Amino acid sequence: MFATFTAILAASAASVSAVAIRGNSGSASITPHEQYSSSIGVLGCKINTNRVAYWPMGVNCDNICVKVTNGDRSLHLLKIDQSGGAHDISYDAWNYLGFGESASSDPHTGGGINMNYEFVDASECAGLMHGGKLALSASNSMDYVASCLSEPNSWVAKNHELINMADPLCKYGYNEVCSLDLQKSNQPSCPHTLGAQHTPTGESVTNIVYGTGKAQSA
């Protein structure tokens, strides 16, 4: 069992090291993204889902905070999902950067707006995470966690938290912290059964509907 986990660590580390961050800064056509998601299992109920970047490159263990600027407006965003090719950001963030107002109060529609970006230290996005730690699904984020633990000095390795929820929308599971002791097991230990499909969880994720600015449960 531990040999298998070691193999996962090695493979995951190779995958992460192969992730190509397209320079520390640059510019791109930034487009709006309405529905929250996270390819690494970040729990939307534990972060500010209005401040997320969905970009083409994969997610590694350090470059998860990007500062996006348009003119005299800028925002810090969590880059915790991989898009199919577009440089998407949360609809509310796009609306503010593009037009100076929250999508909730003055919703706009449209496509790409050329903006500048710069990857910054992940600590600069700590305010977007509840408690300052990256909350991950204990049952469905272990490949990512393994890759980060193989880089013990990475930001995520030192600043993550495992929660017993089975999906990024926080619909199933328990709102409880789990522990991981690799000397005993390659699976997290939680007060309730790991990955339980219990509902309701007492937590939820809300999206801002594109074009209307209305809040809607994810």
Matching residue, tokens 């994720």: 205
42 located within any domain: yes
Model confidence pTM above 0.85: yes
Q: Please say whether the beta carbons of 125 and 134 come within 8 A.
A: no
Domain interval for residue 103: 19-127
| Span 52-56, average pLDDT | 95
Which H or E run includes 14? Answer: helix 2-17
> Considering the domain boundaries, does residue 12 fall inside one?
no
**Residue 186 within any structural domain of the chain:** no
Residue 49 lies in a domain: yes
| Residue 182 banded pLDDT, cuts 50, 70, 90 | confident
Residue 44 lies in a domain: yes
Q: What is the CATH number of the domain that holds 104?
A: 2.40.40.10
- For residue 198, being part of any structural domain is answered with no
What pLDDT, in 10s, does the model give residues 15-30? 333 333 444 899 999 9
Enumerate the H helices of 59-100 as residue ranges: 91-99
Which SS3 state, helix, strand or coil, does residue 189 take? Answer: strand
- Structural domain includes residue 213: no
pLDDT at 179 over 70: yes
Query: In terms of Cα–Cα distance, which of 91, 82, 42 is closest to 207?
Result: 91
Identify the band that residue 14 occupies on the pLDDT scale cut at 50, 70 and 90: very low
Split into its structural domains, the chain has a count of 1
Q: Provide the pLDDT confidence category of residue 199 given band limits of 50, 70 and 90.
A: very high
The proportion of the chain whose per-residue pLDDT surpasses 90, expressed as a percent, equals 83
Amino acid 22: pLDDT:
41
* Locus of tokens 């938290």: 161
User: Quick check: is 101 in a domain?
Assistant: yes
Mean pLDDT along residues 191-206 = 97
